[in-house]
Amino acid sequence: MGYTIAQKIIKAHLLSGEMTVGSEVGLKIDQTLTQDATGTMAYLEFEAIGVPRVKTEKSVAYIDHNTLQTGFENADDHRFIQSVCKKHGIYFSRPGNGICHQVHLERFGKPGKTLIGSDSHTPTGGGIGMLAIGAGGLDVAVAMGGGAYYISMPKMVRINLTGKLQPWVSAKDIILEVLRIMSVKGGVGKIIEYGGEGVKTLTVPERATITNMGAELGATTSIFPSDEITRSFMKAQGREEDWTELSADADAVYDEVIDINLSELVPMAACPHSPDNIKTIEEIGPQTVDQICIGSCTNSSYLDLMRVAAILKGKTVAPNVSLAIAPGSKQVYNMLARNGALADIIEAGARILECACGPCIGMGQSPNSKGISLRTFNRNFEGRSGTRDGQIYLVSPETAAASALTGVFTDPRTLGDAVDIPLPEKFEYNDNMVIAPAPVEEMDSVEVLRGPNIKPYPQTAPLAESIDVPCSLKVGDNITTDHIMPAGAKILPLRSNIPAISEHCFTVCDKEFPTRAKSLGSSIVVGGVNYGQGSSREHAALAPLYLGVKAVVVKSFARIHRANLINAGILPLTFVNEADYDAINQGDELSVPNVRQLILDGKEELVLVNKTNGKEIPVKCELSDRTRDIILAGGLLDYTRNSNSN
pLDDT at 645 over 80: no
Distances (CA, A) of 274 to 184, 261, 358, 561, 619: 8, 24, 20, 18, 29
Report the relative pairing of strands 24-27 and 14-16 from DSSP bridges.
Answer: antiparallel
Residue 59: per-residue pLDDT:
98
pLDDT at 634 over 70: yes
pLDDT, one tens digit per residue, over 556-565 is: 999 999 999 9
Residue 388 vs residue 555, higher pLDDT = 555
List alpha helices for 50-195, DSSP H: 72-88, 100-107, 137-144, 171-182
Question: What integer is the mean pLDDT of 514-521?
Answer: 98
Residue 646: per-residue pLDDT:
61
Nearest-angstrom CA–CA distance, 552 and 616 = 17
pLDDT, one tens digit per residue, over 296-351 is: 999 999 999 999 999 999 999 999 999 999 999 999 999 999 999 999 999 999 99
H/E run at residue 150: strand 149-152
pLDDT, one tens digit per residue, over 390-423 is: 999 999 999 999 999 999 999 999 999 988 899 9
H/E run at residue 342: helix 341-348
Residue 629: per-residue pLDDT:
96
Residue 47: per-residue pLDDT:
94
Q: Which of 181, 198, 199 is nearest to 190 (CA)?
A: 181
Strands (E) in 445-601, as ranges, are: 467-474, 523-526, 549-554, 571-575, 589-592
pLDDT, one tens digit per residue, over 21-69 is: 999 999 999 999 999 999 999 999 999 999 999 999 999 999 999 898 8
pLDDT, one tens digit per residue, over 75-93 is: 999 999 999 999 999 999 9
Nearest-angstrom CA–CA distance, 149 and 641 = 16
Specify whether the CB–CB gap between 183 and 276 falls below 8 A: yes
Exposure string (b/e) for 152-171, b if CB count within 10 Å is 16 or more? bbbbbbbbbbeeebbebbbb
Question: What integer is the mean pLDDT of 471-485?
Answer: 96
Specify whether the CB–CB gap between 484 and 532 falls below 8 A: yes
Nearest-angstrom CA–CA distance, 603 and 123 = 34
Per the prediction, the chain carries an average pLDDT of 96
Nearest-angstrom CA–CA distance, 488 and 510 = 17
Residue 465: per-residue pLDDT:
97
pTM: 0.95
Ordered structural domains, the chain, with CATH = 268-415 (3.30.499.10), 467-645 (3.20.19.10)
pLDDT, one tens digit per residue, over 95-143 is: 999 999 999 999 999 999 999 999 999 999 999 999 999 999 999 999 9
Residue 489: per-residue pLDDT:
86
Least confident of 199-208, 256-265, 343-352, 455-464: 455-464
